[in-house]
Amino acid sequence: MGRWWVVALSEAVHGDKALAVTCEGEQLAVFRDGKGAVFALEDRCPHRRVPLSPGPVKAGGLQCPYHGWTFDGATGLCNDIPNLRRDERVPARYAVRAFPAAEANGFIHVWRGAGTPAAVLPGASYRAAGREQTGSAVANIAFEQYLDVMLDGPECLVSFPGVHITDFFLGDPRRDGEHLVLDRGAVWKCKGNGPAFVRDHSLWVRTRVPLRGGDIRVELLSADEEPLVTIFIAASENRRGTTSLVWRGFRHATAAPLSWRWRMARAIGRAPFAIFPHIDGAAVAALEVAPSRDRRLAKTDARTPAERVVPVQERCAV
């Protein structure tokens, strides 16, 4: 069964140019027609294998930059080979692979794999309520590792200015449908005697990581679990062990007690979070495999009850 992947920010695809993206290791060309509808084609011309994405978008679809064959966005069918006579027609089987594409809340999704595209888009779970900060990057870490590190050590992947994310996580990951959710303690920097001495953490960082697919949610919460920052990060396998990232996030309006730094940063319009495109290899390598173990097990174990990740006896086995 296939699934939806977020491949781009809505605002990154515009005009008569296509955007080259990589999803599940495969290169795609994403573009819009004159009416704004979005399409995704395999980024490989069936004529002489050249990438289509550098070509212009024409009325009939995306035009290959090499010889001008043009492909319909919805069907992938080749509808123009330049210089044909009027009585000549392009054979019906001349086509490039086309992928269903859809948009929600500022994310462009592509359906990959078998089956009818699911009605619910991953990006539908994100709703901005505040000024957004968005971005995209290719991170120097493999896709599955990115998801695992989001559980084992999210401080290697994201930061909130003025916030120290501790590695004290609460219990084991909770299963929430097709996701694992884990909270960990965080403290304001330069407040008190440092994270080791706090009796109770003043903040939480909650990561919600998929078993399959690439939709991640990271939240900074107050001690009362009131959201301060929400980030939706879409990850997908890029080439050579790298990971494509696309994100949107925002700072919530809140009455929760905040550090002076946080208020200052908000006042001068500083970004409320950062996503790292360059990941510290030494820091990642030093992480113990801890909650991500549950993710790997849950991925392979179809019998897992929805509310528990792994039956106890199985966890003791091996």
Interface contacts to other proteins, rule CB under 8 A: 44, 46-51, 54, 63-68, 78, 81-84, 87-92, 94
Beta carbons of 41 and 110 less than 8 angstroms apart: no
82 binds, among ligand FES, other proteins, none (CB under 5 to 8 A by kind): other proteins
Contact residues toward ligand FES (CB under 6 A) are 45, 47-48, 50, 64, 66-69
Residue placing its CB nearer to ligand FES in the complex, 69 or 188: 69
44 binds, among ligand FES, other proteins, none (CB under 5 to 8 A by kind): other proteins
Q: Which of 146, 105, 97, 115 is nearest to 4 (CA)?
A: 115
Residue placing its CB nearer to other proteins in the complex, 94 or 276: 94
Residue placing its CB nearer to ligand FES in the complex, 10 or 63: 63
CB of 28 to other proteins, least distance (A): 14
CB of 55 to ligand FES, least distance (A): 8
As beta bridge partners, residue 73 has: none
CB of 214 to other proteins, least distance (A): 25
CB of 246 to other proteins, least distance (A): 23
Matching residue, tokens 């970004």: 271
Cα-Cα end-to-end distance for the chain = 30
CB of 61 to ligand FES, least distance (A): 12
CB of 67 to ligand FES, least distance (A): 3
At residue 253, the 3 state secondary structure works out as coil
89 binds, among ligand FES, other proteins, none (CB under 5 to 8 A by kind): other proteins
Tell me the C-alpha to C-alpha distance, in Å, between residue 5 and each of 45, 72, 108, 120, 225. 22, 21, 8, 12, 29
150 binds, among other proteins, ligand FES, none (CB under 5 to 8 A by kind): none
Phi/psi of residue 248, nearest 5 degrees? -140, 145
Tell me the C-alpha to C-alpha distance, in Å, between residue 182 and each of 6, 111, 127, 216, 287. 22, 28, 21, 12, 16
Residue placing its CB nearer to ligand FES in the complex, 47 or 58: 47
What is the distance between the alpha carbons of residues 188 and 195, in angstroms, rounded to a whole number? Answer: 9
What is the distance between the alpha carbons of residues 314 and 230, in angstroms, rounded to a whole number? Answer: 35
CB of 45 to ligand FES, least distance (A): 3
Residue placing its CB nearer to other proteins in the complex, 66 or 276: 66
Residue placing its CB nearer to ligand FES in the complex, 45 or 182: 45
Residue placing its CB nearer to ligand FES in the complex, 98 or 234: 98
Number of H helices, E strands in the chain: 5, 21
Matching residue, tokens 């993206």: 21
Residue placing its CB nearer to other proteins in the complex, 90 or 181: 90
CB of 101 to ligand FES, least distance (A): 21
87 binds, among ligand FES, other proteins, none (CB under 5 to 8 A by kind): other proteins
CA dihedral 130→136→142→148, nearest 10 degrees, is: 0
Beta carbons of 245 and 279 less than 8 angstroms apart: no
